[in-house]
Amino acid sequence: MAAWRPWAAEADDFEDRKTAGAIVVQEHGCGFATLLALTGPLAGTVWWDGRATCDLIVPLSLDHLRGARPVTFGEWLGRSSWDLLPPGWG
């Protein structure tokens, strides 16, 4: 147990770094959430935290098939995050 604690702490720190500079704007249950980037070149864009099942954080977009940019917070408001996921999700 003592040997496991440092490993678990490092794993937790690594997971926290994946979302540094972002906040949860909507919880979806079962470990899923919608994130808003607050810092960096993607500040103001909205992302899907799917790490609960696939260890991925993906952009929410109005047109994934044509490689559209991530939606902004304003574009996301009033929409369902589930509807803005890439094809094959949900």
Give 14-19 contacts, CB < 8 A, sequence gap 24+: 15/51, 18/51, 18/57, 19/49, 19/57
pLDDT higher at 47 or 90: 47
Q: What is the pLDDT of residues 13-68, one digit of tens each?
A: 777 777 889 999 999 999 899 999 999 999 999 999 998 888 899 999 999 888 88
Q: What is the pLDDT of residue 77?
A: 97
| pTM listed for this prediction | 0.83
Q: Are 32 and 85 in contact (CB under 8 A)?
A: no
Tell me how far the alpha carbon of residue 57 is from its chain's centroid.
4
Q: What is the pLDDT of residue 90?
A: 61
